[in-house]
Structure 1
Amino acid sequence: MPFIDQFTDLTPVNVLVNILDVLLVWFVIYKIFTLIKGTKAVQLLKGIFVIIIVRVLTQTVGLDTLGWMMQKIIDWGFLAIIIIFQPELRRALEQIGRGKLFARTSLQEAEEQNRLIEAMTKSVSYMAKRRIGALISIERETGLTEYIETGIKMNSEITSELLINIFIPNTPLHDGAVIMQKNKIAAAACYLPLSESPFISKDLGTRHRAALGISEVTDAITIVVSEETGAVSLTSNGDLHRNLSIEEFETRLRKVWFGPEPELVSTSKWTWRGKKNG
Protein backbone atom coordinates (compact mmCIF):
# COMPACT_ATOMS: atom_id res chain seq x y z
CA MET A 1 0.00 0.00 0.00
CA PRO A 2 1.31 3.50 -0.85
CA PHE A 3 0.74 4.75 2.71
CA ILE A 4 2.76 1.89 4.23
CA ASP A 5 5.47 2.26 1.59
CA GLN A 6 6.07 5.85 2.73
CA PHE A 7 7.27 4.52 6.09
CA THR A 8 9.24 1.51 4.84
CA ASP A 9 11.24 3.70 2.45
CA LEU A 10 12.42 6.03 5.22
CA THR A 11 16.10 5.99 6.09
CA PRO A 12 17.29 6.41 9.72
CA VAL A 13 18.29 9.99 8.90
CA ASN A 14 14.80 10.76 7.57
CA VAL A 15 13.25 9.27 10.71
CA LEU A 16 15.42 11.45 12.94
CA VAL A 17 14.63 14.55 10.88
CA ASN A 18 10.89 13.86 11.07
CA ILE A 19 11.04 13.31 14.84
CA LEU A 20 13.01 16.53 15.26
CA ASP A 21 10.51 18.36 13.09
CA VAL A 22 7.57 17.21 15.25
CA LEU A 23 9.39 18.05 18.49
CA LEU A 24 10.22 21.55 17.26
CA VAL A 25 6.59 22.16 16.27
CA TRP A 26 5.38 21.10 19.71
CA PHE A 27 8.07 23.25 21.37
CA VAL A 28 6.97 26.32 19.40
CA ILE A 29 3.31 25.65 20.28
CA TYR A 30 4.25 25.28 23.95
CA LYS A 31 6.14 28.59 23.89
CA ILE A 32 3.20 30.33 22.23
CA PHE A 33 0.85 29.06 24.95
CA THR A 34 3.35 30.21 27.59
CA LEU A 35 3.49 33.63 25.96
CA ILE A 36 -0.28 34.16 25.93
CA LYS A 37 -0.93 32.60 29.34
CA GLY A 38 -2.78 35.03 31.60
CA THR A 39 -3.73 37.40 28.77
CA LYS A 40 -6.94 38.20 26.92
CA ALA A 41 -5.65 36.01 24.09
CA VAL A 42 -6.50 32.91 26.16
CA GLN A 43 -10.20 33.74 26.06
CA LEU A 44 -9.89 34.49 22.36
CA LEU A 45 -8.30 31.09 21.77
CA LYS A 46 -11.21 29.40 23.55
CA GLY A 47 -13.62 31.29 21.31
CA ILE A 48 -11.73 30.16 18.19
CA PHE A 49 -11.97 26.52 19.28
CA VAL A 50 -15.73 26.89 19.84
CA ILE A 51 -16.21 28.39 16.36
CA ILE A 52 -14.17 25.60 14.74
CA ILE A 53 -16.15 22.91 16.58
CA VAL A 54 -19.46 24.52 15.57
CA ARG A 55 -18.24 24.72 11.96
CA VAL A 56 -17.40 20.99 11.92
CA LEU A 57 -20.76 20.09 13.48
CA THR A 58 -22.70 22.18 10.97
CA GLN A 59 -20.87 20.48 8.12
CA THR A 60 -21.58 17.05 9.60
CA VAL A 61 -25.27 17.68 10.34
CA GLY A 62 -25.89 19.66 7.16
CA LEU A 63 -26.80 23.08 8.59
CA ASP A 64 -25.77 25.03 5.50
CA THR A 65 -26.74 28.56 6.59
CA LEU A 66 -25.11 28.35 10.01
CA GLY A 67 -22.11 26.65 8.44
CA TRP A 68 -21.78 29.48 5.92
CA MET A 69 -21.83 32.05 8.74
CA MET A 70 -19.17 30.16 10.71
CA GLN A 71 -16.98 29.87 7.61
CA LYS A 72 -17.18 33.65 7.03
CA ILE A 73 -16.20 34.26 10.63
CA ILE A 74 -13.20 31.96 10.21
CA ASP A 75 -12.22 33.57 6.89
CA TRP A 76 -12.21 37.12 8.27
CA GLY A 77 -11.52 36.34 11.91
CA PHE A 78 -7.75 36.06 11.58
CA LEU A 79 -7.56 39.55 10.09
CA ALA A 80 -9.60 40.86 13.02
CA ILE A 81 -7.29 39.07 15.46
CA ILE A 82 -4.23 40.75 13.95
CA ILE A 83 -5.87 44.19 14.25
CA ILE A 84 -7.21 43.72 17.80
CA PHE A 85 -4.08 42.12 19.25
CA GLN A 86 -1.54 44.21 17.36
CA PRO A 87 0.24 45.41 20.58
CA GLU A 88 0.61 41.86 21.92
CA LEU A 89 1.86 40.54 18.56
CA ARG A 90 4.36 43.38 18.29
CA ARG A 91 5.63 42.67 21.80
CA ALA A 92 6.07 38.98 20.97
CA LEU A 93 8.02 39.80 17.81
CA GLU A 94 10.22 42.22 19.77
CA GLN A 95 10.97 39.48 22.30
CA ILE A 96 11.92 37.11 19.49
CA GLY A 97 14.18 39.79 17.99
CA ARG A 98 15.92 40.36 21.31
CA GLY A 99 16.27 36.61 21.86
CA LYS A 100 14.24 36.75 25.08
CA LEU A 101 11.40 34.47 24.07
CA PHE A 102 13.34 31.30 24.87
CA ALA A 103 15.73 32.77 27.42
CA ARG A 104 15.81 31.60 31.01
CA THR A 105 15.78 33.94 33.98
CA SER A 106 19.35 35.00 34.61
CA LEU A 107 21.02 35.76 37.92
CA GLN A 108 20.80 39.48 37.14
CA GLU A 109 17.05 39.19 36.50
CA ALA A 110 16.57 37.34 39.79
CA GLU A 111 18.37 40.15 41.64
CA GLU A 112 16.17 42.74 39.92
CA GLN A 113 13.04 40.79 40.82
CA ASN A 114 14.02 40.75 44.49
CA ARG A 115 14.78 44.48 44.38
CA LEU A 116 11.34 45.23 42.94
CA ILE A 117 9.54 43.00 45.44
CA GLU A 118 11.43 44.61 48.32
CA ALA A 119 10.66 48.13 47.09
CA MET A 120 6.97 47.32 46.67
CA THR A 121 6.69 45.60 50.05
CA LYS A 122 8.50 48.37 51.89
CA SER A 123 6.36 51.13 50.37
CA VAL A 124 3.08 49.27 50.91
CA SER A 125 3.99 48.52 54.54
CA TYR A 126 4.83 52.18 55.16
CA MET A 127 1.56 53.43 53.64
CA ALA A 128 -0.57 50.76 55.32
CA LYS A 129 0.73 51.70 58.78
CA ARG A 130 -0.08 55.37 58.17
CA ARG A 131 -3.34 54.77 56.27
CA ILE A 132 -2.10 56.48 53.12
CA GLY A 133 -4.39 55.46 50.28
CA ALA A 134 -2.63 53.95 47.27
CA LEU A 135 -3.47 52.31 43.95
CA ILE A 136 -0.66 50.65 41.98
CA SER A 137 -1.15 48.63 38.80
CA ILE A 138 1.61 46.46 37.32
CA GLU A 139 1.56 45.73 33.60
CA ARG A 140 2.18 42.14 32.56
CA GLU A 141 1.50 40.80 29.05
CA THR A 142 -1.55 42.90 28.22
CA GLY A 143 -0.51 46.47 27.42
CA LEU A 144 -1.77 49.33 29.62
CA THR A 145 -0.79 52.16 27.26
CA GLU A 146 -4.33 53.50 26.93
CA TYR A 147 -4.51 53.95 30.72
CA ILE A 148 -0.98 55.36 30.99
CA GLU A 149 -1.99 58.10 28.56
CA THR A 150 -4.65 59.31 31.02
CA GLY A 151 -2.03 60.19 33.65
CA ILE A 152 1.25 62.04 34.07
CA LYS A 153 4.12 60.18 32.42
CA MET A 154 7.17 59.61 34.63
CA ASN A 155 9.37 56.78 33.26
CA SER A 156 11.15 56.61 36.63
CA GLU A 157 13.04 53.91 38.48
CA ILE A 158 10.91 51.99 40.98
CA THR A 159 11.92 52.83 44.53
CA SER A 160 9.96 52.65 47.76
CA GLU A 161 10.74 56.30 48.52
CA LEU A 162 9.28 57.52 45.22
CA LEU A 163 6.15 55.36 45.54
CA ILE A 164 5.52 56.65 49.06
CA ASN A 165 6.07 60.25 48.01
CA ILE A 166 3.61 59.97 45.10
CA PHE A 167 0.73 58.96 47.37
CA ILE A 168 1.30 61.48 50.16
CA PRO A 169 -2.07 63.27 50.53
CA ASN A 170 -2.59 66.66 48.88
CA THR A 171 0.31 66.24 46.47
CA PRO A 172 -0.28 66.72 42.71
CA LEU A 173 0.05 63.00 41.81
CA HIS A 174 -1.60 61.25 44.76
CA ASP A 175 -5.11 61.08 43.24
CA GLY A 176 -5.29 58.21 40.76
CA ALA A 177 -3.27 55.10 40.00
CA VAL A 178 0.42 54.51 39.46
CA ILE A 179 1.09 52.20 36.51
CA MET A 180 4.34 50.24 36.33
CA GLN A 181 5.90 48.75 33.20
CA LYS A 182 8.66 46.21 33.79
CA ASN A 183 11.08 47.95 36.20
CA LYS A 184 9.80 51.49 35.59
CA ILE A 185 7.05 53.71 36.97
CA ALA A 186 5.43 54.61 33.66
CA ALA A 187 2.90 57.15 34.92
CA ALA A 188 1.01 58.44 37.95
CA ALA A 189 -2.45 59.94 38.48
CA CYS A 190 -3.91 57.52 35.92
CA TYR A 191 -7.57 56.63 35.53
CA LEU A 192 -8.52 52.95 35.64
CA PRO A 193 -11.88 51.45 34.56
CA LEU A 194 -14.28 50.77 37.42
CA SER A 195 -15.77 47.32 37.78
CA GLU A 196 -19.52 47.16 37.17
CA SER A 197 -19.94 43.73 38.74
CA PRO A 198 -23.09 43.55 40.92
CA PHE A 199 -21.38 41.06 43.26
CA ILE A 200 -18.84 43.54 44.67
CA SER A 201 -19.22 44.22 48.38
CA LYS A 202 -20.90 47.55 49.11
CA ASP A 203 -18.19 48.54 51.57
CA LEU A 204 -15.53 48.66 48.84
CA GLY A 205 -14.54 52.10 47.63
CA THR A 206 -13.43 53.53 44.30
CA ARG A 207 -9.85 52.23 44.59
CA HIS A 208 -11.00 48.64 45.02
CA ARG A 209 -13.53 48.96 42.19
CA ALA A 210 -10.80 50.35 39.92
CA ALA A 211 -8.44 47.52 40.91
CA LEU A 212 -11.10 44.93 40.09
CA GLY A 213 -12.06 46.76 36.90
CA ILE A 214 -8.54 46.71 35.43
CA SER A 215 -8.08 43.06 36.44
CA GLU A 216 -11.28 42.12 34.58
CA VAL A 217 -10.11 43.55 31.24
CA THR A 218 -6.34 42.90 31.47
CA ASP A 219 -3.93 40.55 33.25
CA ALA A 220 -2.48 43.41 35.32
CA ILE A 221 -1.67 43.02 39.02
CA THR A 222 -3.13 45.83 41.11
CA ILE A 223 -2.33 46.74 44.70
CA VAL A 224 -4.66 48.74 46.94
CA VAL A 225 -3.95 50.36 50.29
CA SER A 226 -7.14 51.53 51.99
CA GLU A 227 -7.15 55.12 53.20
CA GLU A 228 -9.82 54.35 55.81
CA THR A 229 -8.39 51.17 57.38
CA GLY A 230 -4.85 50.76 56.02
CA ALA A 231 -5.82 47.28 54.77
CA VAL A 232 -3.77 45.87 51.90
CA SER A 233 -5.50 44.19 48.96
CA LEU A 234 -4.32 42.68 45.69
CA THR A 235 -6.21 41.87 42.49
CA SER A 236 -5.24 39.70 39.53
CA ASN A 237 -7.29 37.88 36.86
CA GLY A 238 -10.52 39.26 38.28
CA ASP A 239 -9.87 37.98 41.84
CA LEU A 240 -9.66 40.27 44.88
CA HIS A 241 -7.57 39.25 47.89
CA ARG A 242 -8.33 41.51 50.85
CA ASN A 243 -6.84 42.26 54.26
CA LEU A 244 -3.44 40.74 53.52
CA SER A 245 -0.65 40.86 56.05
CA ILE A 246 2.66 42.19 54.76
CA GLU A 247 4.07 38.66 54.66
CA GLU A 248 1.03 37.37 52.74
CA PHE A 249 1.19 40.36 50.40
CA GLU A 250 4.86 39.78 49.58
CA THR A 251 4.34 36.05 48.96
CA ARG A 252 1.29 36.54 46.77
CA LEU A 253 2.82 39.45 44.83
CA ARG A 254 5.96 37.46 44.05
CA LYS A 255 3.91 34.47 42.94
CA VAL A 256 1.60 36.34 40.55
CA TRP A 257 4.30 38.73 39.28
CA PHE A 258 7.33 36.47 38.82
CA GLY A 259 6.16 32.93 39.56
CA PRO A 260 8.00 30.67 42.05
CA GLU A 261 10.46 32.47 44.28
CA PRO A 262 14.01 32.43 42.86
CA GLU A 263 16.85 30.92 44.84
CA LEU A 264 18.69 34.21 45.10
CA VAL A 265 17.39 36.34 47.98
CA SER A 266 18.63 39.82 48.76
CA THR A 267 20.78 39.89 51.89
CA SER A 268 19.30 43.24 52.87
CA LYS A 269 15.73 41.95 52.83
CA TRP A 270 13.56 42.99 55.79
CA THR A 271 16.37 44.99 57.41
CA TRP A 272 14.00 47.96 57.44
CA ARG A 273 11.23 46.13 59.34
CA GLY A 274 12.72 46.71 62.70
CA LYS A 275 12.50 50.48 62.37
CA LYS A 276 9.58 51.99 64.20
CA ASN A 277 9.01 54.60 61.53
CA GLY A 278 9.76 52.39 58.49
Structure 2
Amino acid sequence: MLLQIKGVLATISLLDIADILIVAYFLYKLYVVIKDTRAVALLKGIIVLLMATLVSKWLGLNVINWLLQKTMTVMLVALPVVFQPELRRALEQLGRGRFFHKSNFLNEEETETLLNEISRTVSVLSKNKIGALIVIERETGLNDYIETGLKVDGLVSSEFLINVFIPNTPMHDGAVIIRGNRVMAAGCLLPLTEDRTLNKELGTRHRAAIGVTEQTDAVVIIVSEETGIISVARSGHLMRYFDAETLKDNLRPLFTTKHTSFSDYFNWRSPS
Protein backbone atom coordinates (compact mmCIF):
# COMPACT_ATOMS: atom_id res chain seq x y z
CA MET A 1 0.00 0.00 0.00
CA LEU A 2 2.79 2.37 0.96
CA LEU A 3 4.62 1.57 -2.27
CA GLN A 4 1.47 2.32 -4.27
CA ILE A 5 1.09 5.69 -2.58
CA LYS A 6 4.72 6.50 -3.28
CA GLY A 7 4.23 5.45 -6.89
CA VAL A 8 1.25 7.78 -7.28
CA LEU A 9 3.11 10.67 -5.64
CA ALA A 10 6.06 10.10 -7.94
CA THR A 11 3.83 10.70 -10.97
CA ILE A 12 2.63 14.10 -9.67
CA SER A 13 4.53 17.05 -11.09
CA LEU A 14 4.63 20.69 -10.00
CA LEU A 15 2.35 21.49 -12.92
CA ASP A 16 -0.24 19.03 -11.58
CA ILE A 17 -0.09 20.69 -8.16
CA ALA A 18 -0.52 24.14 -9.73
CA ASP A 19 -3.46 22.79 -11.73
CA ILE A 20 -5.15 21.47 -8.59
CA LEU A 21 -4.57 24.69 -6.66
CA ILE A 22 -6.02 26.81 -9.49
CA VAL A 23 -9.16 24.65 -9.64
CA ALA A 24 -9.48 24.74 -5.82
CA TYR A 25 -9.14 28.53 -5.81
CA PHE A 26 -11.75 28.83 -8.56
CA LEU A 27 -14.19 26.65 -6.61
CA TYR A 28 -13.55 28.67 -3.45
CA LYS A 29 -14.25 31.96 -5.26
CA LEU A 30 -17.40 30.44 -6.73
CA TYR A 31 -18.51 29.49 -3.21
CA VAL A 32 -17.85 33.05 -1.98
CA VAL A 33 -19.97 34.47 -4.81
CA ILE A 34 -23.01 32.28 -4.12
CA LYS A 35 -22.64 32.19 -0.34
CA ASP A 36 -25.81 33.32 1.49
CA THR A 37 -27.70 33.80 -1.78
CA ARG A 38 -30.67 32.00 -3.31
CA ALA A 39 -28.20 30.11 -5.49
CA VAL A 40 -27.22 27.94 -2.52
CA ALA A 41 -30.74 26.48 -2.25
CA LEU A 42 -30.85 25.91 -6.01
CA LEU A 43 -27.46 24.21 -5.90
CA LYS A 44 -28.66 21.90 -3.12
CA GLY A 45 -31.63 20.94 -5.30
CA ILE A 46 -29.31 20.07 -8.20
CA ILE A 47 -27.14 17.94 -5.89
CA VAL A 48 -30.25 16.05 -4.67
CA LEU A 49 -31.28 15.39 -8.28
CA LEU A 50 -27.78 14.18 -9.13
CA MET A 51 -27.71 11.81 -6.14
CA ALA A 52 -31.19 10.51 -7.01
CA THR A 53 -30.02 9.84 -10.57
CA LEU A 54 -27.02 7.82 -9.36
CA VAL A 55 -29.10 5.86 -6.84
CA SER A 56 -31.81 5.04 -9.39
CA LYS A 57 -29.15 3.77 -11.80
CA TRP A 58 -27.55 1.65 -9.07
CA LEU A 59 -30.95 0.15 -8.11
CA GLY A 60 -31.88 -0.52 -11.74
CA LEU A 61 -34.90 1.80 -11.76
CA ASN A 62 -34.66 2.46 -15.48
CA VAL A 63 -37.76 4.63 -15.96
CA ILE A 64 -36.98 6.87 -13.00
CA ASN A 65 -33.34 7.08 -14.06
CA TRP A 66 -34.37 8.07 -17.61
CA LEU A 67 -36.67 10.80 -16.30
CA LEU A 68 -34.00 12.14 -13.94
CA GLN A 69 -31.38 12.18 -16.70
CA LYS A 70 -33.69 14.20 -18.94
CA THR A 71 -34.40 16.56 -16.03
CA MET A 72 -30.67 17.05 -15.48
CA THR A 73 -30.22 17.83 -19.18
CA VAL A 74 -32.93 20.50 -18.99
CA MET A 75 -31.34 21.89 -15.80
CA LEU A 76 -27.98 22.29 -17.53
CA VAL A 77 -29.66 24.40 -20.22
CA ALA A 78 -31.61 26.41 -17.63
CA LEU A 79 -28.65 27.08 -15.30
CA PRO A 80 -27.45 30.27 -17.06
CA VAL A 81 -30.95 31.69 -16.67
CA VAL A 82 -31.52 30.53 -13.09
CA PHE A 83 -28.10 31.71 -11.88
CA GLN A 84 -28.06 34.90 -13.96
CA PRO A 85 -27.55 37.33 -11.02
CA GLU A 86 -24.76 35.20 -9.54
CA LEU A 87 -23.03 34.70 -12.91
CA ARG A 88 -23.25 38.43 -13.58
CA ARG A 89 -21.77 39.19 -10.17
CA ALA A 90 -18.94 36.70 -10.72
CA LEU A 91 -18.04 38.19 -14.10
CA GLU A 92 -18.18 41.70 -12.65
CA GLN A 93 -15.78 40.70 -9.87
CA LEU A 94 -13.46 39.18 -12.47
CA GLY A 95 -13.51 42.42 -14.41
CA ARG A 96 -12.85 44.40 -11.25
CA GLY A 97 -9.38 42.91 -10.75
CA ARG A 98 -6.41 45.13 -10.02
CA PHE A 99 -5.51 45.54 -13.68
CA PHE A 100 -8.95 46.92 -14.50
CA HIS A 101 -9.50 48.58 -11.15
CA LYS A 102 -11.15 51.99 -11.16
CA SER A 103 -11.71 54.21 -8.15
CA ASN A 104 -14.09 57.00 -7.17
CA PHE A 105 -12.75 57.32 -3.63
CA LEU A 106 -12.78 60.71 -1.95
CA ASN A 107 -10.24 62.45 0.25
CA GLU A 108 -10.86 62.66 3.99
CA GLU A 109 -12.48 66.10 3.94
CA GLU A 110 -14.81 65.24 1.05
CA THR A 111 -15.75 61.98 2.74
CA GLU A 112 -16.72 63.61 6.02
CA THR A 113 -18.72 66.29 4.22
CA LEU A 114 -20.59 63.68 2.22
CA LEU A 115 -21.30 61.49 5.26
CA ASN A 116 -22.55 64.48 7.23
CA GLU A 117 -24.91 65.48 4.41
CA ILE A 118 -26.28 61.95 4.02
CA SER A 119 -26.70 61.36 7.77
CA ARG A 120 -28.37 64.75 8.21
CA THR A 121 -30.72 63.94 5.36
CA VAL A 122 -31.84 60.54 6.64
CA SER A 123 -32.13 61.88 10.19
CA VAL A 124 -34.59 64.58 9.10
CA LEU A 125 -36.51 62.22 6.84
CA SER A 126 -36.68 59.55 9.56
CA LYS A 127 -38.05 61.97 12.16
CA ASN A 128 -40.74 63.15 9.74
CA LYS A 129 -41.45 59.64 8.40
CA ILE A 130 -40.68 60.59 4.82
CA GLY A 131 -39.74 57.64 2.63
CA ALA A 132 -36.37 57.72 0.85
CA LEU A 133 -34.16 55.52 -1.32
CA ILE A 134 -30.50 56.58 -1.71
CA VAL A 135 -28.18 54.44 -3.85
CA ILE A 136 -24.40 54.77 -3.48
CA GLU A 137 -22.49 53.52 -6.51
CA ARG A 138 -19.41 51.39 -5.88
CA GLU A 139 -17.35 49.77 -8.64
CA THR A 140 -20.24 48.48 -10.74
CA GLY A 141 -21.55 51.27 -12.95
CA LEU A 142 -25.21 52.21 -12.49
CA ASN A 143 -25.73 54.06 -15.76
CA ASP A 144 -28.59 51.75 -16.74
CA TYR A 145 -30.53 52.91 -13.68
CA ILE A 146 -29.41 56.55 -13.97
CA GLU A 147 -30.99 56.63 -17.43
CA THR A 148 -34.41 55.83 -15.92
CA GLY A 149 -34.44 59.00 -13.82
CA LEU A 150 -33.83 62.73 -14.11
CA LYS A 151 -30.13 63.52 -14.48
CA VAL A 152 -28.79 66.00 -11.95
CA ASP A 153 -24.98 65.75 -11.63
CA GLY A 154 -24.69 68.10 -8.66
CA LEU A 155 -22.91 68.06 -5.31
CA VAL A 156 -24.63 66.12 -2.55
CA SER A 157 -26.43 68.37 -0.08
CA SER A 158 -28.96 67.54 2.61
CA GLU A 159 -31.23 70.36 1.47
CA PHE A 160 -31.47 68.97 -2.06
CA LEU A 161 -31.94 65.36 -0.95
CA ILE A 162 -34.66 66.29 1.54
CA ASN A 163 -36.53 68.28 -1.12
CA VAL A 164 -36.31 65.39 -3.57
CA PHE A 165 -38.15 63.04 -1.22
CA ILE A 166 -40.87 65.45 -0.06
CA PRO A 167 -44.22 63.72 -0.81
CA ASN A 168 -46.16 64.68 -3.93
CA THR A 169 -43.08 66.03 -5.72
CA PRO A 170 -42.19 64.62 -9.17
CA MET A 171 -39.21 62.55 -7.98
CA HIS A 172 -40.15 61.45 -4.46
CA ASP A 173 -41.11 57.90 -5.43
CA GLY A 174 -37.86 57.01 -7.19
CA ALA A 175 -34.27 56.51 -6.04
CA VAL A 176 -31.42 58.98 -5.87
CA ILE A 177 -28.11 57.65 -7.20
CA ILE A 178 -24.83 59.02 -5.79
CA ARG A 179 -21.44 58.60 -7.47
CA GLY A 180 -18.53 59.85 -5.38
CA ASN A 181 -19.81 63.07 -3.82
CA ARG A 182 -22.25 63.92 -6.60
CA VAL A 183 -25.92 63.20 -7.12
CA MET A 184 -26.08 61.75 -10.63
CA ALA A 185 -29.84 61.35 -10.95
CA ALA A 186 -33.12 61.31 -9.02
CA GLY A 187 -36.42 59.55 -9.54
CA CYS A 188 -34.64 56.42 -10.78
CA LEU A 189 -36.31 53.03 -11.12
CA LEU A 190 -34.69 49.96 -9.52
CA PRO A 191 -35.35 46.23 -10.04
CA LEU A 192 -37.38 44.51 -7.34
CA THR A 193 -35.97 41.45 -5.61
CA GLU A 194 -37.68 38.13 -6.31
CA ASP A 195 -36.84 36.76 -2.86
CA ARG A 196 -40.13 35.48 -1.44
CA THR A 197 -38.70 34.84 2.03
CA LEU A 198 -38.62 38.54 2.94
CA ASN A 199 -40.76 39.91 5.72
CA LYS A 200 -44.21 40.85 4.40
CA GLU A 201 -43.90 44.20 6.20
CA LEU A 202 -41.13 45.33 3.85
CA GLY A 203 -42.48 47.57 1.13
CA THR A 204 -41.49 48.40 -2.42
CA ARG A 205 -38.56 50.62 -1.39
CA HIS A 206 -36.90 47.86 0.61
CA ARG A 207 -37.49 45.29 -2.15
CA ALA A 208 -36.05 47.65 -4.76
CA ALA A 209 -33.01 48.29 -2.55
CA ILE A 210 -32.35 44.57 -2.12
CA GLY A 211 -33.00 43.99 -5.82
CA VAL A 212 -30.34 46.41 -7.06
CA THR A 213 -27.79 45.11 -4.54
CA GLU A 214 -28.38 41.56 -5.77
CA GLN A 215 -27.28 42.63 -9.24
CA THR A 216 -24.58 45.19 -8.38
CA ASP A 217 -22.19 46.04 -5.53
CA ALA A 218 -24.08 49.26 -4.73
CA VAL A 219 -25.04 50.16 -1.16
CA VAL A 220 -28.55 51.51 -0.61
CA ILE A 221 -29.96 53.55 2.27
CA ILE A 222 -33.69 53.25 2.90
CA VAL A 223 -35.97 55.34 5.12
CA SER A 224 -39.35 53.76 5.79
CA GLU A 225 -42.34 55.97 5.11
CA GLU A 226 -44.50 54.07 7.62
CA THR A 227 -42.08 53.77 10.56
CA GLY A 228 -39.17 56.10 9.84
CA ILE A 229 -36.73 53.19 10.36
CA ILE A 230 -33.36 53.65 8.62
CA SER A 231 -32.07 50.54 6.83
CA VAL A 232 -29.09 49.67 4.64
CA ALA A 233 -29.04 47.08 1.85
CA ARG A 234 -25.88 45.55 0.36
CA SER A 235 -25.07 42.29 -1.43
CA GLY A 236 -28.73 41.27 -1.35
CA HIS A 237 -28.94 41.62 2.44
CA LEU A 238 -30.84 44.15 4.57
CA MET A 239 -29.75 45.61 7.92
CA ARG A 240 -32.23 47.77 9.85
CA TYR A 241 -32.46 50.17 12.78
CA PHE A 242 -29.56 52.50 12.02
CA ASP A 243 -29.22 55.98 13.48
CA ALA A 244 -27.19 58.88 12.08
CA GLU A 245 -23.94 57.88 13.83
CA THR A 246 -24.01 54.13 13.14
CA LEU A 247 -24.90 54.91 9.53
CA LYS A 248 -21.85 57.15 9.16
CA ASP A 249 -19.59 54.56 10.82
CA ASN A 250 -20.71 51.89 8.34
CA LEU A 251 -20.57 54.09 5.25
CA ARG A 252 -17.14 55.58 5.93
CA PRO A 253 -15.10 52.53 4.79
CA LEU A 254 -16.84 52.67 1.40
CA PHE A 255 -15.15 55.99 0.67
CA THR A 256 -11.87 55.66 2.54
CA THR A 257 -10.77 52.08 1.73
CA LYS A 258 -9.08 51.72 -1.64
CA HIS A 259 -10.28 48.17 -2.18
CA THR A 260 -13.21 46.32 -0.67
CA SER A 261 -13.60 42.64 -1.44
CA PHE A 262 -16.98 40.99 -1.92
CA SER A 263 -16.81 39.23 1.43
CA ASP A 264 -16.20 42.51 3.28
CA TYR A 265 -19.84 43.43 2.72
CA PHE A 266 -20.79 40.74 5.22
CA ASN A 267 -18.58 42.20 7.95
CA TRP A 268 -20.30 45.52 8.60
CA ARG A 269 -20.79 46.53 12.19
CA SER A 270 -24.37 45.96 13.24
CA PRO A 271 -26.23 48.96 14.63
CA SER A 272 -26.88 48.72 18.35
Give the TM interval when normalised to the shorter protein.
0.5 to 0.7
SS in 1 for 2:221: strand
Cα distance in structure 2, aligned partners of 1:43 and 1:64? 28
Change (3 A) 1:61 1:120: farther
Normalising by structure 1, we get a TM-score of 0.61
Give the structure 2 partner of residue 276 of structure 1.
none
Change (3 A) 1:230 1:95: closer
Give the structure 1 partner of residue 43 of structure 2.
45
Cα distance in structure 1, aligned partners of 2:134 and 2:237? 15
Change (3 A) 1:166 1:213: same
Question: What is the RMSD of the two structures over their aligned residues, measured on CA atoms?
Answer: 5.0
Cα distance in structure 1, aligned partners of 2:140 and 2:103? 23
Letter in 1 for 2:62: D
Q: CA deviation at 1:227?
A: 4.0
Cα distance in structure 1, aligned partners of 2:4 and 2:264? 50
Q: Is the 8 Å Cα contact of residues 150 and 191 (structure 1) preserved in structure 2? A: no
The count of aligned residue pairs is 250
Change (3 A) 1:190 1:217: closer
Letter in 2 for 1:60: W
* Bigger mean CA offset, 182-191 vs 57-66: 182-191
Cα distance in structure 2, aligned partners of 1:178 and 1:261? 23
Cα distance in structure 2, aligned partners of 1:180 and 1:37? 27
Q: CA deviation at 1:26?
A: 0.9
Give the structure 1 partner of residue 61 of structure 2.
63
Letter in 2 for 1:128: S
Structure 2 gaps of 5+ residues are 254-262
Change (3 A) 1:66 1:154: farther
The percent of aligned pairs where both chains have the same amino acid is: 36
Letter in 1 for 2:33: L
Normalising by structure 2, we get a TM-score of 0.62
Letter in 1 for 2:203: R
Give the structure 1 partner of residue 203 of structure 2.
209
Cα distance in structure 2, aligned partners of 1:3 and 1:117? 64
Q: Is the 8 Å Cα contact of residues 222 and 230 (structure 2) preserved in structure 1? A: yes
Give the structure 2 partner of residue 241 of structure 1.
240
User: Of 161, 164, 167, which residue of structure 1 is paired with 2:165?
Assistant: 167
SS in 1 for 2:13: helix
Q: Is the 8 Å Cα contact of residues 133 and 209 (structure 2) preserved in structure 1? A: no
Letter in 2 for 1:124: V
